[in-house]
Structure 1
């Protein structure tokens, strides 16, 4: 497909990325809604707090199943307590943390196209075998989820190096908003899974998401290529437009030398790492815990749970698109600098949700207030696409995968810690009072992250982005030497078809 046709190669990449990140989160959040129906209703034990019109009563869970739950065979449910359930949810991050940094660096060396595609394909295969694994016991599920995390851990950092060679600098906020399609994937997965569970049982959600993931992976390898220079169907005009806009900030030659000392002593790198860790800590807590909170504290049934749990993700995606377009417009028009754009949108997207989580401490027991606050907080967080999320491309596009991998490594620990924290605080005491503590911790995390980026962040290209290779020749000079390389013959021929 080329510019001479009806759709450009960049548009195909954008479309595939949107669906890819939708599936990326569908593969990880399907369990958060399914596990509500996978566990025996009296397995978690302990105390449940019921709140009705400002009257709070505390009762012990009855051993009998309700009529709704009794429709599902007991043999298809598992006797996992709250601690085991949170261990299963949190084990995803054990594997996830291992491949973040290696995945980003591997994408810089062999290409994000291959890393992202294989990450999604094998994660889809693992998803398909989840129902069988669940019947082997919770330890088997812990191992399976860790392996799933290992496969998906490389997916996010692998895309950033692709953006460095495919996307013009002033369009990168919009491109990064494609990654927020993950929120849209979570938004659609929640209600769809809720209905599929009620119709076909909890196993159906894993067959559905895993099957679609495999189909997407096949399409990715057929239509997406590592760079404009390697695309067999790109037009001469589109390739030239992309490469001229990118210029020499990104080298065509894969950097074999990483300036670790410069990276590890750069305040702007730590600004990205800290704010990303704080932001994702809160986001993962909502992704993994909102369905359980809505059932145990707000007492929603499975279908209502799935639908209402999806609202914050719809808001986050649409905010990410709107904010990224607005930020790129302001930068292109010269109204604000890249640094001002990144700091302003990051403060708005990360600091403000922290204030809303403070409100949850006081109003989180009320159904209407809780849903409204969760939705607004996560909606505002979508503006990170115009803030820190693409900041690695601003400061060092040649090492954007490495930087993103470092940031996502910390956030992966945050994802596990959030699940572990909820398990510890709510085990045998799943009350609103315990959740008030959780909301306070998340609020502090958000505010700390936004302040870290506000004080240390920048949008300026760093001098260590073009370090000398081991042979002493700077990457930038190699880039200039390669500018005269002609387009591949098949590219030129395709352009005139």
Structure 2
């Protein structure tokens, strides 16, 4: 703001520095000229000439700016033209005017500097203690209101990104600890689950089981697994994923260890023990999803989930590799005793102070301030206050996107659980492998899935998601996850060469891994606050597919005399149905707040 005074032709310019535009949209600098004219005529004694009006801006604690008027009272300088004036009088009046103008300049400049410091402090607080640069402050002062607001928004985004980059550059982060613990938990989960698919061969010989009985024993796990899917999601969203996941690991480890004793008592106790083991494993996936939704930002979601689900694949690999030598050297009960005891080590570390993470970043005592600030700015549900009090069941079940996840989870898991539980039997009965060769050959598809899951997740997060958005990314990835296995399983009955059959199964599982960047990442896209509950709903449908698919496979094989073509045909049909539903109903946008 420029103020100019005149004293008989003498101009006294006064320039005030511009103040940055604030969110309220006021003009940052108004070029106003308020002359104070000392004249010899009586007309100079007007109200406008009696007062000097200085304008300044003062920022409040809310970040908005109020415009106040500082009226500096001035004594009217009356110099009548009829009265002669002396040079000393003129000099005196000039000194008075100059002094008052200097006072005004000093007052406004001081307050302006104070307000600039307040605005800098507010920006530091708003941007999580990341001070803006001098160039950025200068740019804000010279931009018009709309451009300044855009610049402030861009500055905030850049600073959030810089915080994330700085946190990642520090090395190991707390959210990486969360993902690692979940990885190991899922590794133990599948080790304890897949050991039955190998042990079932000597157990069937010892107890004289038929294919139908073997299918019943393997499907009994899913009875308990189905019961706790939704319950695990509700408990995780209310009590926190840490407690629920810890309970699940302790529970299933216990019943894994007592499985041989239950089998010695008879078929009924064995089925009950396997069902109780499923109860513990049923809460693992909802609890993990709850932890990831609170610890992992959206731009890292596919990769983090791929790493967690890689634990399942690695657990299948280790379980299939370790079971045959343990069975040969000791006996099949040793597999269950050893695998069950590994859960005790995980539980001790999970609940150890300073090692295991908390349910949310706000409760964690080890996380750095920078990472906590980054998660608060980038995670949809990063604190306890955002947790829902009541689950909006009607809102969830009324959305087509929710039903797309539920139905497609059923279609996907039918084929997945058949391959998980029946692959060693397929190698043994169809390809003529012994127990060693069956287990080792069954490992290869899971190795393929582990590799492809991380490749697909990286492509989804770094290539597809930034360029095409969440909806197209999820649809493309899940379509590959459905259509790829469908093609491979269609060709499998026509193949008699073991090497080619194994290659088709590896390709099927490798392409199936794209589902982890499609279906399995979509829960947090459409309902991040209820991700645990939503995963419980969809995984219930997936477990139901495991119960029906595993049992139906045994019944089909027994009725057809060991013809696997019908087994693969049912899986292919469900893959095609799932593709149609997914492309029609799914979305990557949030549908439930």
TM-score (norm 1): 0.82
Question: 2:381–2:387: 8 Å Cα contact kept in structure 1?
Answer: no
Question: 2:386–2:529: 8 Å Cα contact kept in structure 1?
Answer: no
Instruction: Show CA shifts across 1:233-269 (max 9, x none).
Output: 1111111111111257987332012222221110101
Residue 165 of structure 1: how far off its partner (Å) = 1.1
Which of residues 180, 189, 199 is equivalent to 2:319? 189
Aligned to 2:392: 259
Residue 428 of structure 1: how far off its partner (Å) = 6.5
The higher-RCO structure (CA 8 Å, 6+ apart) is 1
Aligned to 1:180: 310
Query: What pairs with 1:61-210 in structure 2 (closer than 5 Å)?
Result: 77-177=206-306, 178-210=308-340
Aligned to 2:514: 383
Q: Give yes or no for the alignment of 1:237 onto 2:370.
A: yes
Question: 1:249–1:398: 8 Å Cα contact kept in structure 2?
Answer: no
Instruction: Show CA shifts across 1:420-444 (max 9, x none).
Output: 112211226542xx21011100111
Residue 28 of structure 1: how far off its partner (Å) = 0.8
Q: Give yes or no for the alignment of 1:446 onto 2:575.
A: yes
| CA distance in 2: counterparts of 1:221 and 1:326, whole angstroms | 35
Aligned to 1:217: 347
Residue 389 of structure 1: how far off its partner (Å) = 0.4
Structure 1 portions without partners, runs of 5+: 41-76, 466-497
Q: Give yes or no for the alignment of 1:359 onto 2:491.
A: yes
Instruction: Show CA shifts across 1:330-382 (max 9, x none).
Output: 256x311111100000000122111111111322x431222111111011111
Instruction: Show CA shifts across 1:295-341 (max 9, x none).
Output: 11211111111110011111111111111111110256x31111110
Aligned length: 423
Q: Give yes or no for the alignment of 1:272 onto 2:405.
A: yes
| CA distance in 2: counterparts of 1:371 and 1:139, whole angstroms | 35
Question: 1:250–1:398: 8 Å Cα contact kept in structure 2?
Answer: no
| CA distance in 2: counterparts of 1:269 and 1:261, whole angstroms | 11
| CA distance in 2: counterparts of 1:87 and 1:286, whole angstroms | 16
Indicate how the Cα distance of structure 1 residues 6 and 368 shifts in structure 2: closer, same or farther if over 3 A, else same.
closer
Aligned to 2:446: 313
| CA distance in 2: counterparts of 1:384 and 1:4, whole angstroms | 30
Instruction: Show CA shifts across 1:210-253 (max 9, x none).
Output: 11122112212221210111111111111111111125798733
| CA distance in 2: counterparts of 1:252 and 1:445, whole angstroms | 41
Indicate how the Cα distance of structure 1 residues 134 and 103 shifts in structure 2: closer, same or farther if over 3 A, else same.
same
Question: 2:361–2:383: 8 Å Cα contact kept in structure 1?
Answer: no
Question: 2:184–2:311: 8 Å Cα contact kept in structure 1?
Answer: yes
Query: What pairs with 1:319-334 in structure 2 (closer than 5 Å)?
Result: 319-331=452-464, 334=466
Aligned to 1:487: none
Which of residues 397, 412, 422 is equivalent to 1:289? 422
Instruction: Show CA shifts across 1:87-139 (max 9, x none).
Output: 11011111111100111111011111111111011101111111111111111
Indicate how the Cα distance of structure 1 residues 373 and 82 shifts in structure 2: closer, same or farther if over 3 A, else same.
same
Which of residues 194, 197, 203 is equivalent to 1:38? 203
Rg: which structure is higher? 2
Q: Give yes or no for the alignment of 1:370 onto 2:535.
A: no
Question: 2:294–2:381: 8 Å Cα contact kept in structure 1?
Answer: no
Residue 5 of structure 1: how far off its partner (Å) = 8.0
| CA distance in 2: counterparts of 1:180 and 1:6, whole angstroms | 22
Question: 1:84–1:138: 8 Å Cα contact kept in structure 2?
Answer: no
Aligned to 1:71: none
Secondary structure of 1:227 counterpart: coil
| CA distance in 1: counterparts of 2:505 and 2:589, whole angstroms | 34
| CA distance in 2: counterparts of 1:229 and 1:273, whole angstroms | 31
Aligned to 1:7: 172
Secondary structure of 1:181 counterpart: helix
Residue 4 of structure 1: how far off its partner (Å) = 11
What is the aligned-residue RMSD (CA, Å)? Answer: 1.8
| CA distance in 1: counterparts of 2:394 and 2:503, whole angstroms | 45
Indicate how the Cα distance of structure 1 residues 247 and 293 shifts in structure 2: closer, same or farther if over 3 A, else same.
closer
| CA distance in 1: counterparts of 2:517 and 2:216, whole angstroms | 34
| CA distance in 2: counterparts of 1:96 and 1:375, whole angstroms | 27
Instruction: Show CA shifts across 1:56-88 (max 9, x none).
Output: xxxxxxxxxxxxxxxxxxxxx212222221111
Secondary structure of 1:16 counterpart: helix
Q: Give yes or no for the alignment of 1:29 onto 2:194.
A: yes
| CA distance in 1: counterparts of 2:578 and 2:168, whole angstroms | 42
Secondary structure of 2:351 counterpart: helix
| CA distance in 1: counterparts of 2:213 and 2:299, whole angstroms | 47
Indicate how the Cα distance of structure 1 residues 159 and 25 shifts in structure 2: closer, same or farther if over 3 A, else same.
same
Residue 7 of structure 1: how far off its partner (Å) = 2.6
| CA distance in 2: counterparts of 1:235 and 1:4, whole angstroms | 13
Indicate how the Cα distance of structure 1 residues 327 and 128 shifts in structure 2: closer, same or farther if over 3 A, else same.
same
Aligned to 2:23: none
Residue 146 of structure 1: how far off its partner (Å) = 0.8
Question: 1:339–1:457: 8 Å Cα contact kept in structure 2?
Answer: yes
| CA distance in 2: counterparts of 1:425 and 1:337, whole angstroms | 43
Structure 2 portions without partners, runs of 5+: 1-166
Q: Give yes or no for the alignment of 1:226 onto 2:365.
A: no
Indicate how the Cα distance of structure 1 residues 136 and 400 shifts in structure 2: closer, same or farther if over 3 A, else same.
same
Q: Give yes or no for the alignment of 1:299 onto 2:437.
A: no
